[in-house]
């Protein structure tokens, strides 16, 4: 098994066109533009979102809360393939999901720029967390999340940005997520 730093990932340009492969370590060292996914996961039973605490073992944002599951896209992997794989790996659930939007983020100090595609899924399954990725998860309402994210320093910046875009444009996405 290769280490996370040696994973081969997709490098893209500022227009999100694939240009080459690189190790995750090279991407971090050279701050290369890459792709990631984020998946908002809702509990079907109570309409609350799962948020997760990133493992202390993670290189990027260890111990911070994340508002979505997800990860870095491997070389020649699609956004959709990655989203399904990451949700299964991190949360132990395999659910239908819908794509919502894609955004570019290059304003996080000492972090590589990223194209991030955001998905939404719902589950009634019990989560099975991958300990190497996630220390804990809990359910929170949109209102509760809106309150706690006022302390931005406790949260991974990509999930924060995605949540802000999602809530600001909720009417646009409401019908997409209603029937999944």
Bridge partners, 99 (sequence order): 119
Q: Per-residue pLDDT tens for 100-119?
A: 999 999 986 667 999 999 99
What pLDDT does residue 131 have? 83
Please give the CATH architecture assigned to the domain spanning 4-178: Alpha-Beta Complex (3.90)
Q: Which of 14-18, 82-86, 175-179 has the lowest mean pLDDT?
A: 175-179
Instruction: Give pTM, 2 decimals.
Output: 0.91
Burial class (CB in 10 A: 0-12, 13-18, 19+), 127: middle
- Alpha-carbon distance of 50 to 104, in angstroms, equals 23
Q: Per-residue pLDDT tens for 26-68?
A: 999 999 999 999 999 999 999 999 998 876 667 666 668 899 9
Domain boundaries, the chain: 4-178
What pLDDT does residue 74 have? 97
- Alpha-carbon distance of 125 to 93, in angstroms, equals 7
Q: DSSP character for 96?
A: -
What pLDDT does residue 157 have? 84
Instruction: State the CB neighbour count (10 A cutoff) for residue 159.
Output: 25
Reported as a pLDDT band with limits 50, 70 and 90, residue 176 is confident
Bridge partners, 102 (sequence order): 117
């Amino acid at each position: 098994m290769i280490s996370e730093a040696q994973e081969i990932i997709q490098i893209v340009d500022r227009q999100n066109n694939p240009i080459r492969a690189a190790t995750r370590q090279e991407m971090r060292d050279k701050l290369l533009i890459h792709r990631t996914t984020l998946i908002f996961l809702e509990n079907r039973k109570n309409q609350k979102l799962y948020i997760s605490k990133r493992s202390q073992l993670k290189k990027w944002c260890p111990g911070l809360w994340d508002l979505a599951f997800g990860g870095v896209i491997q070389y020649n992997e699609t956004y959709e393939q990655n989203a399904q794989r990451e949700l299964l790996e991190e949360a132990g659930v395999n659910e239908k999901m819908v794509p919502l939007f894609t955004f570019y983020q290059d304003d996080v100090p000492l972090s590589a720029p990223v194209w991030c595609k955001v998905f939404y899924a719902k589950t009634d399954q019990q989560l099975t967390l991958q300990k190497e990725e996630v220390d804990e998860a809990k359910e929170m309402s949109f209102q509760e999340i809106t309150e706690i994210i006022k302390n931005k320093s406790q949260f991974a910046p990509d999930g924060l940005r995605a949540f802000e875009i999602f809530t600001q444009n909720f009417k646009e996405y409401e019908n997409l997520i209603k029937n999944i």
